A and B are shown apart, each in its own frame.
Chain A
Amino acid sequence: MSEIPSSVLVVDDEIQIRRFLRTGFELDGFTVREAETGAEALRAATLKPSDLVILDLGLPDMDGADVLERLRAWSTVPLIVLSVRGSEAEKVRLLELGADDYVVKPFGMAELLARAHSALRRQLRAAHGEPLVKFGPLSIDFAARAVFINDQRVALTPKEYRLLQILAQHSGNVVTHQFLLREVWGNEHIDDTHYLRIFVRKLRRKIEADPTQPRILLTELGVGYRLVMADPPAATPSGPAAPKPPSGGGHQ
């Protein structure tokens, strides 16, 4: 990543969870701050902005959605939610409220770091604007509205292109069914998930080597889709961490 280490604010009321998250993030070169409650998190985020927020939903003082909403009122900081299994509806709600992604407890550190880096990259891209993105064999030229697989141009219908474009803009992070339906087909089709199923199948036939074993356009059951780098640097040991910087130099 960049020279200046990214800073992450970990919001969780369980000390053991905070401890392993701190270690995991520090080994990956982040500087870590912690908050135990929603109120503390909001205070910490205001006093000193972080590059990333990890938000647990089971806080003792506030509903996770409240924390998220209040934070989103003034901040676009990348935010990843720690949720529990079997609450698809809640995940969707939080994503709609502006969370960038979620991981389900229990989770591996590599999974969380992958999501975190995707969210950070998105923030960076939004700032600079990127004309071309690559997902393994897939590349999308936003300026020319052209899509290539292994440098071969792929013909997409306008709606297929739009779908791919939205997913690419959130590359690596999940995009909800509702968001995709609203952006591609409009508000009145927000519940027509079968549109998505049909279109994703068509897209996969055009961009995946084996449409039944997708490597680029992945499904998050009951939630949405995500576009990923075809061959993620499969859980590379993050290596010896960069020496910890003196505190205080954390954020941009």
Chain B
Amino acid sequence: MPSNSKLKLRLAAIWCHLRGIGIALLLVGATTAVAVLLREYLGILRGSVLYLLPVMLAGYQLGVVPALVTAVAGVILSGYLYFAQFYSFRVASPQEALNLVLFMVVAVVVSHLANQAKRHTMIARKREQEMSDLYAFSRRLAAAPSAAEIFVAIQNHLANLVQRKVVLLSAADTGHAEGVPERLRAEVALVEQDEGRERTIDDDNGNTWLIRRVSPKTPDFGIVAVDLGGASGETLAGIRQRIDDALADAAATLERLDVARALNEAKMRSETELLREALIGSVSHELRTPLAAILGAATILSNAPALARDERLHALTGVVRDEAERLNNDIQNLLDATTISSQQVRPKLQWIEPVDIVNAAVEHRRRRLAGHPVTLELDSNLPIVRADPAQVEQALVQILDNAAKYSSDSAPIHVRARLNGQFVVLSVHDRGAGLSGEEKRQVGGRFFRGPRHAATTSGSGLGLWIANAFISANGGKVEVESEGVDRGTTVAIHLPLPGETAPSETTIDE
């Protein structure tokens, strides 16, 4: 509670004074002991000036009040020791009384001067520290290569300045305002919207917080919340002035670095990214779940004896299944295209057996290729290569799809895997529509579809583009060959041999 803490503060102040007075009296006592010794053993009878020493010390180290106490005690004791009747408090002559009064005045002046000198030294030292802090801060700002570093510098500098909590919120996270007391969060939002304003507000613990923008001109540089503690009046004004100075310096540096635009862009980018991820996630789940149910149910129906008896009905279950599979492939293409266009293709490289990739892709499209006689010509002695198996398979699947799509129903498709120089080449040859010179130049572009086929064959124009992107990401290339319209097409995936050679068989077989 505030009243409680104020009481505690006052008690502490009183204790501080009492301690000062106590130390002052001890000093006077020590001086008296020295004076008595000097008098008894060396016969020094005029030593009252000795008492100026504790007065000066007290004035310098302990403050005015202890110094005055020292002076009064010194006067009384020196009167007792040195004037008229020794060892008595009686003052015998006006001469002695004048001496005592003069002593008193000198003591007070000396203590005051000592105290002044001390205060000036302290203030000078503090100024010097502040100046060097500010200088270090400016230097750090000037050298900061990024906005993030500037923010760290601002936060450290302010925390150092006020010796209390400082929360710096970048424009992106003012929404959460972590580290700021609950009831101040609304203020953060207000300051962000309201141009150039700053606010001071008390939190639940009686501390005053200053909330303002780093730069009064723009909220892009973020909002800063500083716990000013219980400061008030002149102290508060001083602290605020210094905070203003530091932030003005920081804002100027931020402007110079043109980070406003960069920060804005980063914020927008991260939002787009979130949206994209959400889309991928929900498309993936929301579309595939019903598809899985449709496809699963269709496979059960196609095996059901009741339907197996009627050829036409049985064929219909095949239609359901094929179309569901096609839809599933389209969804996969859409997701792949999204991944590719956001430059998120990150191959997970593994040692792969090229023949495995071909077999998996052909198996994947077994139903799609059903009408075509597929011949495989696979070299059983190919070197193993390093690539992402799923991506290479997906690329080959796209190429097989195209081969089936652009050749007549019973036209053969020939798949080869062979070594060609420094590449393992997986190629698909069809005897279908082929490519004209113009088509060959454009094929592989995103959404490109040959105008000849637009009316007769469905497709998105993504297939070869996806294949190209996946294979390039894996360090290979896709080449398209055709001898002309209606003379078939050969599409070949070239995968580079790895620089490192796989160990020989004997070393691992023991």
Whether A213 pairs with B376 at a CB distance below 8 angstroms is yes
List residues of A (154-195) whose CB comes within 8 Å of B's CBs. Answer: 157, 159-160, 185, 192-195
Q: Which of the residues B296, B353, B356 comes within 8 Å of A107, measured between beta carbons? A: B296
**Residue interface mask B203-241, A partner, CB < 8 A = 1:** 000000000000000000000000000000000000000
Residues of the A chain whose Cβ atoms lie less than 8 Å from the Cβ of B378:
212-213
In the complex, B159 has a CB within 8 A of chain A: no
In the complex, A21 has a CB within 8 A of chain B: yes
Residues of the A chain whose Cβ atoms lie less than 8 Å from the Cβ of B325:
106
CA of A192 to CA of B384, assembled, Å: 13
Say whether, besides A219-B356, A219-B360, A222-B350, A110 and B303 are in contact (CB < 8 Å).
Answer: yes
Residues of the A chain whose Cβ atoms lie less than 8 Å from the Cβ of B91:
none
Whether B295 pairs with A106 at a CB distance below 8 angstroms is yes
Q: Which of the residues B303, B324, B359, B393 comes within 8 Å of A106, measured between beta carbons? A: B324
Nearest CB in chain B: distance from A103 CB, A: 10
- Closest residue on chain A to residue B355 by CB atoms: A212
CA of A89 to CA of B390, assembled, Å: 11
Residues of the A chain whose Cβ atoms lie less than 8 Å from the Cβ of B355:
212
Whether B296 pairs with A86 at a CB distance below 8 angstroms is no
Whether B305 pairs with A240 at a CB distance below 8 angstroms is yes
CA of A205 to CA of B355, assembled, Å: 13
Residues of the B chain whose Cβ atoms lie less than 8 Å from the Cβ of A197:
351-353, 384, 502
List residues of A (187-246) whose CB comes within 8 Å of B's CBs. Answer: 192-195, 197-202, 205, 211-214, 219, 221-222, 235, 237-240
**Residue interface mask B471-510, A partner, CB < 8 A = 1:** 0000000000000000000000000000000110100111
CA of A176 to CA of B383, assembled, Å: 22
List residues of A (16-45) whose CB comes within 8 Å of B's CBs. Answer: 16-17, 19-21, 23-24, 27
In the complex, B186 has a CB within 8 A of chain A: no
List residues of B (349-394) whose CB comes within 8 Å of A's CBs. Answer: 350-353, 355-357, 359-360, 376, 378-380, 384, 388-390, 393
List residues of A (124-165) whose CB comes within 8 Å of B's CBs. Answer: 157, 159-160
Whether A14 pairs with B293 at a CB distance below 8 angstroms is yes
Residues of the B chain whose Cβ atoms lie less than 8 Å from the Cβ of A23:
297, 300
Q: How many residues of A contact B (CB 8 A)?
A: 48
CA of A160 to CA of B509, assembled, Å: 8
- Closest residue on chain B to residue A236 by CB atoms: B303
CA of A157 to CA of B510, assembled, Å: 9
Say whether, besides A20-B296, A110-B299, A85 and B289 are in contact (CB < 8 Å).
Answer: no
CA of A240 to CA of B360, assembled, Å: 33
Whether B300 pairs with A20 at a CB distance below 8 angstroms is yes
Whether A106 pairs with B380 at a CB distance below 8 angstroms is no
Whether A106 pairs with B353 at a CB distance below 8 angstroms is no
**Residue interface mask B440-476, A partner, CB < 8 A = 1:** 0000000000000000000000000000000000000
Nearest CB in chain B: distance from A106 CB, A: 4
Nearest CB in chain B: distance from A129 CB, A: 29
Whether A221 pairs with B356 at a CB distance below 8 angstroms is yes
Whether A221 pairs with B505 at a CB distance below 8 angstroms is no
Whether B296 pairs with A27 at a CB distance below 8 angstroms is no
CA of A195 to CA of B504, assembled, Å: 9
In this complex, the member of A219, A221, A240 whose beta carbon has the largest number of chain B beta carbons within 10 angstroms is: A221
CA of A48 to CA of B505, assembled, Å: 50
Nearest CB in chain B: distance from A3 CB, A: 23
The number of inter-chain residue pairs (CB within 8 angstroms) is 126
Whether A106 pairs with B509 at a CB distance below 8 angstroms is no
- Closest residue on chain B to residue A13 by CB atoms: B289
CA of A201 to CA of B359, assembled, Å: 14
Nearest CB in chain A: distance from B368 CB, A: 15
In the complex, B176 has a CB within 8 A of chain A: no
Say whether, besides A185-B508, A221-B389, A200 and B288 are in contact (CB < 8 Å).
Answer: no
In the complex, B181 has a CB within 8 A of chain A: no
Residues of the B chain whose Cβ atoms lie less than 8 Å from the Cβ of A89:
348
Nearest CB in chain A: distance from B294 CB, A: 8
In the complex, A109 has a CB within 8 A of chain B: yes
In the complex, A70 has a CB within 8 A of chain B: no
Residues of the A chain whose Cβ atoms lie less than 8 Å from the Cβ of B357:
221
Whether B293 pairs with A109 at a CB distance below 8 angstroms is no
- Closest residue on chain B to residue A214 by CB atoms: B359
In the complex, B332 has a CB within 8 A of chain A: yes
Say whether, besides A185-B508, A197-B384, A108 and B356 are in contact (CB < 8 Å).
Answer: no
Whether B502 pairs with A20 at a CB distance below 8 angstroms is no
Whether B390 pairs with A109 at a CB distance below 8 angstroms is no
Say whether, besides A16-B293, A20-B297, A219-B360, A84 and B284 are in contact (CB < 8 Å).
Answer: yes
CA of A131 to CA of B376, assembled, Å: 38
Chain B interfacial positions (CB closer than 8 Å to A)? 284-285, 288-297, 299-300, 303-305, 308, 321, 324-325, 328, 332, 335, 348, 350-353, 355-357, 359-360, 376, 378-380, 384, 388-390, 393, 502-503, 505, 508-510
Sampled A-B contacts (22; CB under 8 Å)? A16-B290, A19-B293, A84-B284, A88-B348, A88-B390, A105-B289, A106-B295, A106-B296, A107-B292, A108-B299, A192-B508, A194-B351, A197-B502, A198-B502, A198-B508, A214-B359, A221-B352, A221-B357, A221-B390, A222-B389, A222-B390, A237-B308
Q: What are the 4 tightest A-B residue pairs by CB atom distance, in nearest-first order? A: A16-B293, A108-B299, A194-B351, A106-B295
- Besides the known contacts A88-B389, A221-B393, 16 further A-B residue pairs in the complex with CB atoms under 8 A apart: A17-B293, A20-B297, A23-B297, A24-B300, A27-B304, A84-B284, A86-B335, A108-B299, A110-B299, A160-B509, A193-B351, A194-B384, A200-B353, A201-B353, A205-B380, A222-B389
